[in-house]
A and B are shown apart, each in its own frame.
Chain A
C-alpha cells in the first residue's frame, strides 16, 4: 500500500468519524419526533402529507401493523415503477424518445429499485426516460432508503423501549426520514456536485464535433440529483451505465471523496443514533468500532492485493511497482483519474454498504481484491452497511454473538437489558438464513442448468466468482456486479428478482418481529454480572463471530472461485477457458529468481 493510499484511508475515516456524532444525534431527534430547525419550513409539508394521506401521526403500531404498512407501501412502489417503465414512451419528459421497457426487464428494474438494490440489467441513459428516472427511480432511491432507515429505527426502539406493544408508526418514520434527513442532505450535496462539474439539466443530449470532425452525441441530464441520493441512500443505480466511473457522475478526486463519504455517512451515524436511543452512546460506539475494524481490514487486503498486481505479468518482467510515472499494480478496469487506492477504497465502501455504485470494474480486480467486495456483501453488509440495513444486520449478529458466547458468563444471554429468549433466537436465525440460502442455492442451481451456464462468459473459477457475485449482490441488495455475466436473460431477471425480494423482505419481517418481541420485554438492570457489550472484548467477539459465521458459510464456495483463482495466479498458471474440461490449464514460464 502506498503512503498516499494510507493517508487517504486515514482522512476518510476521520471525516466519517467526525460526521457520526452530529448526524447520529440529529437522526435520533428526527425519529423521536423532536422539533428540529427545519420544522418551521418542513413542518407544514409533513403535516400536509399526513392530512392528505389520512395518517394519524400520533398512533403507533405493533410490529405486525408496521410490517403490513411497509409491505403495502413497497408493493405499490413495485407496481407504480413497473407501470411507469411500461408506459414511458407515451408519457412526457422523454426527449430522446425512448421506447417502453420490456416487461421482464421492467419487473427486474422495479424490484431492483424498490429493494434498494439498484441492480441495473440495462444501460440507464439509453433505456429509461427522464420521467422514469426522476418520478420512478429517483423517488424509489429516496423511499427505499427511508424504508431501511425506518426498519432500523423500529428495531432500535425494540431495544430502547420496555414493556411496550408498539414500535413506532411506519408512515411517520418514512415521511420524517425522507423529509428531514434524505432531502436536505441531497439538496446540499446536489449543489456541491454541480459545482464540482456534474451536469444537472432536463435538456436532451448535446451534440459535439470532435477534433477529427466526427460528430459525437454526449448524453447529459438530471445527473447530480440522482447521483447524490444514489450514494446517500446506498442505492447505487447510476444515471450512466458506467456509474461513478463516468466523468459526468464522478468528475474529480474531490467528488470521489464526497461520494464515498455520502455512502457511509448515514450508516455510520446510525450507530450513534442507536446508542443515543438506547440510552448509552458507548453501546453505539462499540458497534461503530466493530464496523471500523472490519472495514479497515477489508480496505487493506483489497488495496494491497491490487497494488501487488498480477504475478503472471511479473513473470513476463513487466514492472508493476508504483512510481511517480505509474500507478503500478493492477490497473485493469480502473479509472486513471482514481488509480488503485481510490478504486480499492471505493470498492470496499460500496460493498460494505448496500450501495453498489462503482468507480472501477470489480470483475477486473485480482481474485483476492475481488474476494473482499464479494465477502463484504456476503457477510450481510453489516460493516456500516446500507442505510438502516447495516445497523439491523449487525444487531442480528450481535444477538447471535450474545447467544453463542454470552452463556459463558453464566447468565441467560441478554443484550441491552433484554433477555434473548427462544422466539428472539428463532427470528434472528430466520433472518440470518436468507443470505446463504439464496446465494448458495441459486449459485448451485445456476451451475447445473444449461440456461444458467449459458450467460457465463468466463468458464472456470472466475465464472463461478461472477455467478456468486451476482446472487450475493442481488440478495444483499447491493446492485454492483462482476461483469462477464450476461444478466439480462429470463433466467437471471427472474432469479435475481427473487433474490432481491428475498434479501430485502424475508429479512425485514423477522427483524420487525424481533423488534416487537424486544419492545415487549422488561428491561433488566446491568450489573457486574452482566455480559459487557461496550469494551474491546465485545468488539473483538462481535467481529470474530461475523467473520467465523461468514467463513464457515462461504469458504467452500469461495475456495472453488476466488481462492483457487488467486492460488493459480500466484503460482504462475493461467486458466484457459477454451480448453476447460480437456486440458484446462497451461503453465507460463516461471518467474526468474530476481525480478528487475
Chain B
C-alpha cells in the first residue's frame, strides 16, 4: 500500500498564485473597530447641518420637516410672549411661562440640527474622497488624433472628448477618458482609481487588458485609445457622483419606509390635533407649546433623523471596501439575495493546479520522492512548479543554491510533456504519467494505480522519475481558497445558496464542490449557461447575485439582480453590472451581501426603536398634561400615570424633548456603523434584534427621561 503524505495543513500559498489581479488596497478592518468619527469632519458638518435647515431641503423628510415647523411655531410663541402679544393672539404661554417655551423651542431646533448633522457627517466622508478623485480628472489635456493619424494631433480638454474620438497617451500622461486600446502597448498605473500601485499591462485586442479607465496614468510607452464614454459619463464621473452622494436617489425600500413614517406621523398629528378639544372638554386645556412638544416626541424622529445617514453610510461602507455600487438599489438588493452564482476558478479556487500530496512508489522513502519532486521543480516558474516547491518546503525539504550549481533546467514542452532538471548527467523529471511511461518503457503498476485513482478524484497526477527510476506521483489539484467552506456555511445559515459554475468535467466539479461546501454546482458550463441558470433561479422566485469580468459575462451580469464586475474586466462587463469591485476580488460579493443586509437591519432596528420609545413618552407627558383634568387632581386623577416620578409637568415635558433630541446624537455612530451583523437565520436575527431594539426601545427612554429629569431638577430647572 502506497504511503500517502497529506498536505492538508498547507496554509502558506505562493502570493503570486493567489491574486493574479493584484492585492486589495485596503484590507477591511472588522466592522466596528474602525473609528467612525473623524473630528476634522465635524466643523464642516455643523455648517452643513445649519444650511440644510432651508425648507427646500427639509421638505424631502416629512418627519423632520414637521419638527422644524414645530420649532418655528414655538419660537414665534416665545417672541409673541416676550413682546406681550400672546394675550391679544389668544395664545397661552403655558405653565412655566417664557422660560419653558424658550427651552422647548431651543431643544426643538437642536433636534432638527442634530438630524441634519447626522446626514452631513455621513456625507462628509464621501465628499473628501470625491474631491481627491476630482483632482485627477480636472485639467487633463487630451492629444486627439485627427482622422486617426498619429502625425496630426490636436490638444483638447478631456471634458470635451466624445465617444469615437481617438487619443494618444504617452508615458507620464493621464488617460483622459474611458476607452478601448486600439494600438501600442503600455504599462498603466490605476492607483488613482483603485489604489493598486503595481501597474498593469494594456494592449489592444484582448478582452480584459484592452479597456482603460479615465484618470489612470501611463507609466511607460504609449497607447492609442478610442474613447467610449461621453463627457460626464465616464467611470470616474460616476464614481465621484456616487461617493459624493450627489447621484443618491432614494431606494424603493427607503421610499416605502418614508411612507410608513409619514403615515405614522399623520396618525400622531391627528392624535395631537384632536387632543386639543378633548383636553378643553376635560378642563385641562393644553398650550400650543405642550401640544407641539407632545407631537414631536411621538412622531418617529429617531429614524426620521437618521434615515438618510444610514443610506449614505451604507454606500460609504462599500466604498471603504473598494466596491462601487452604481445605485443604492443594488446595495439593498444585495441584502435580498438568495442565490450566489460563483465561478469556480478564481473565486472558490485559486484556479491553478497546486501540489497537495506526494505519493511514493512502494519501497521508496517519502523523503526521496519529496526531494526528487523539489529538484524537478526548483527552476520551474509555473504556478504548479512553485506550489510543489512550497509543499516540499513545508514538509521540511529545501535546497540551497550550492546544490543547484551547474544544473540545467529542462522546460516543459508540448512534445515531451515533462519538465525538470539535469545535474551531473542525472535527470530528475516530472510529467504526465503517459509521457513518463514512454521514457521509462514500463510504468510500475502501483504508480499507475495511484495515478488513476488521483485522476478519478478529479486531480492531476504527475509522475516523478529520478535517474530512470519511477519514484512516485505528485498529486496536483485545484485548491479551494482557505476559509471558503466556513463562508459558505455562514451563507447557508443566512439562507443563501451558493452555486458553483465551472467548465470542468462533472467528476472534478463534484470533488471541488464537496471540498468547498457549495450547495450546488454546474459542470461543463459554457458562458451562455450562466444567464440560463440565473433566469431559472429567478423564475423560481429567487434573487441571484453573480460576479464576472468578461464581455461574454455581460448579459448574465445584467440579468442578475446583483451583478458585480471586476475592475480588471471589460467595459462591457462594468457597464452591465450594478457594482464594480476595484480590487477585482470575486469573493467580495459575500461582503457586499453582508453590507446590504446590515443596511436594511439598521433601518429596521431604528424604526422599531423609534416606535417603541413612544410608550415611555406617554408616561412622561400625559400625566404632565392631564394630572389635573375635570378638576380632579392628586391621587384621584391621572397623576398616577407618572410612574417615573418626574419632578414637575414642565420638567417632564422638557425631559422627554431633550431625550428625544439626544437619542439622535447617541445613535449617529450606530447609524453610520450599522448594527452588529451576525450571519444567522432570519428567525434568530429577528429574536435578537427584537429583544435589543424592541424591548430596549421600550425600556431605554424610561431610564433616559428619568435621568434627564433628575439633572434638570438638580440644576434647579423645574
Contacts and interface: CB of A to CB of B under 8 A. Distances in A.
Given A532-B682, A563-B638, A585-B631, A403 B277 contact: no
Nearest to A447: B281
B378 interface: no
A39 interface: no
Interface string A456-493: 00001100100000000000000000000000000000
Given A410-B685, A412-B332, A548 B283 contact: no
Which of A430, A440, A531 gathers the greatest number of chain B CB atoms within 10 Å? A440
A441 interface: yes
A429 interface: yes
Interface in A415-443: 417, 420-422, 424-426, 428-430, 432-433, 436-437, 440-441, 443
A411 interface: yes
A432 B271 contact: no
Contacts of B543: 524
Interface stretch (A14-22, A347-355, A360-368, A566-574): A566-574
Nearest to A534: B683
A318 interface: no
Interface stretch (A53-61, A87-95, A183-191, A552-560): A552-560
Interface string A194-209: 0000000000000000
B626 A403 contact: no
Which of A405, A426, A573 gathers the greatest number of chain B CB atoms within 10 Å? A405
B556 to A, nearest CB: 19
Contacts of A440: 270-271, 274-275
A529 B264 CA distance: 28
A460 B683 CA distance: 48
Contact of A573 (B632, B685, B686, B689): B632
A403 B260 contact: yes
A528 B259 contact: no
Given A527-B496, A575-B630, A584-B631, A433 B694 contact: no
Interface residues of B, number: 81
A407 interface: yes
Contact of B601 (A409, A522, A560): A409
Interface string B589-633: 000000011101101110110011011001000100010011110
Interface stretch (B170-178, B389-397, B417-425, B487-495): B487-495
Interface in B309-345: 332, 335-336, 338
Nearest to B266: A433
A596 interface: no
A387 B270 CA distance: 29
A568 B608 CA distance: 35
Contact of A405 (B270, B298, B686): B686
A570 to B, nearest CB: 9
A584 B632 CA distance: 7
A411 B600 CA distance: 6
Contacts of A461: 282, 630
Contacts of A411: 335-336, 597, 600, 682
Given A405-B686, A585-B631, A564 B281 contact: no
Contact of B280 (A422, A424, A448, A564): A448
Interface string B232-255: 000000000000000000001101
Contacts of B338: 524-525, 527, 529
A437 B281 contact: no
Contacts of B693: 408
B170 to A, nearest CB: 49
Contacts of B263: 425-426, 428-430, 432-433
Contacts of B256: 403, 420-422, 424-425
A43 interface: no
Given A404-B608, A408-B693, A422-B255, A444 B682 contact: no
Contacts, number: 236
Contacts of A522: 541
A551 interface: yes
Interface residues of A, number: 70
A447 B280 contact: yes
Nearest to A541: B690
B615 A551 contact: yes
A559 B638 contact: yes
A559 B681 CA distance: 41
Interface string B681-718: 11101110110011000000000000000000000000
B682 A409 contact: yes
A153 interface: no
A571 B626 CA distance: 17
Which of B273, B640, B686 gathers the greatest number of chain A CB atoms within 10 Å? B686
Contacts of B597: 410-411
Interface of B: 252-253, 255-257, 259-260, 262-264, 266-268, 270-284, 298, 332, 335-336, 338, 492-497, 540-543, 596-598, 600-601, 603-605, 607-608, 611-612, 614-615, 618, 622, 626, 629-632, 635-638, 640-641, 677, 681-683, 685-687, 689-690, 693-694
Interface of A: 400, 403-412, 417, 420-422, 424-426, 428-430, 432-433, 436-437, 440-441, 443-445, 447-448, 460-461, 464, 522-525, 527-532, 535, 537, 541, 544, 548, 551-553, 555-557, 559-560, 563-564, 567-568, 571, 573, 575, 580-581, 583-585
18 contacts: A405-B690, A410-B598, A417-B541, A420-B256, A426-B263, A429-B260, A461-B282, A464-B278, A464-B281, A525-B338, A528-B495, A528-B681, A541-B690, A552-B618, A555-B618, A556-B618, A584-B630, A584-B631
